[in-house]
Amino acid sequence: MQRRLLLLGLGAFATRAAHALYDPKPLALIEPALGSWIGTLTYRDYQKPERMVTLSTSMTASLTAPDELALHYVFDDGPGKTVYSYERMRFDLAGQQVIWQFGISKSKLETYKITASAVQDGRSTVAFEQRQEADTDHYLFELSKRSWTLTKHEVSGGAGSDGPAARVLRSKYEFSRREA
């Protein structure tokens, strides 16, 4: 009787397909991002736009799909104040888009157009943007095995507006790989 149960159990286990064995490998563009990073976030203060603020930041990146990063940030926002952020970035190279989901409690999904991307000598670069009326948000994502940089510039005015375009640095993440 025990032998029958054992054989039945083994037979049921043997018939299950091994689904995960055939998943595609990670996108070469984002594969170096995986792991733990330490660095800073520097951003333009919304209350005093002429002032830049820098926060010590740590970040962990993992994959949720071959072309999608899950990012967990921890910001040191002053004595006794820690801020957390959770994001997902999907790099759809065929569709020339970055689909970026911000936050959990107030989730927001944004789609950006990829304007350039390259993987060369172990370094990945992706430029992407989003237009909103007369303004454009430009991002430059640069990644290697040792460094991670994500820079955002806001461009206002220019074509279709009354004045020349103004390019302003809004934020910049700069990370180096956290050593084990």
54 or 133, which is more confident?
54
Instruction: Provide the residue range defining the domain that includes 31.
Output: 25-177
pLDDT at 101 over 80: yes
Q: 3-state SS string over the chain?
A: CHHHHHHHHHHHHHCCCCHHHHCCCCCCCCHHHCEEEEEEEEEECCCCCCCEEEEEEEEEEEEEECCEEEEEEEEECCCCCEEEEEEEEEEECCCCEEEEEECCCCCEEEEEEEEEEEEECCEEEEEEEEEECCEEEEEEEEECCCEEEEEEEEEECCCCCCCCCEEEEEEEEEEEECCC
Distance of CA 128 to the CA centre of its chain: 12
pLDDT at 147 over 70: yes
**CATH at residue 107:** 2.40.128.20
Instruction: Answer whether residue 77 is part of any domain.
Output: yes
CA distance 38 to 176: 6
Q: What is the pLDDT of residue 21?
A: 73
CA distance 147 to 133: 34
Instruction: Answer whether residue 31 is part of any domain.
Output: yes
* % of the chain at pLDDT higher than 90: 72
Pick the closest to residue 175 from 145, 154, 153 (CA basis).
Answer: 145
pLDDT at 9 over 70: no
Cβ atoms within 10 Å of 142's Cβ, excluding its own: 15
Instruction: Answer whether residue 9 is part of any domain.
Output: no
pTM listed for this prediction: 0.83
CB of 113 within 8 A of CB of 129?
A: yes
Instruction: Answer whether residue 121 is part of any domain.
Output: yes
Number of domains present in the structure of the chain:
1
Instruction: Answer whether residue 100 is part of any domain.
Output: yes
CB of 59 within 8 A of CB of 71?
A: yes
Instruction: Answer whether residue 166 is part of any domain.
Output: yes
Instruction: Answer whether residue 105 is part of any domain.
Output: yes
> Region 36-50: what's the mean pLDDT?
94
The rounded mean pLDDT for the chain is: 89
Per-residue pLDDT reduced to its tens digit, 102-129: 998 889 999 999 999 999 999 999 999 9
Instruction: Answer whether residue 80 is part of any domain.
Output: yes
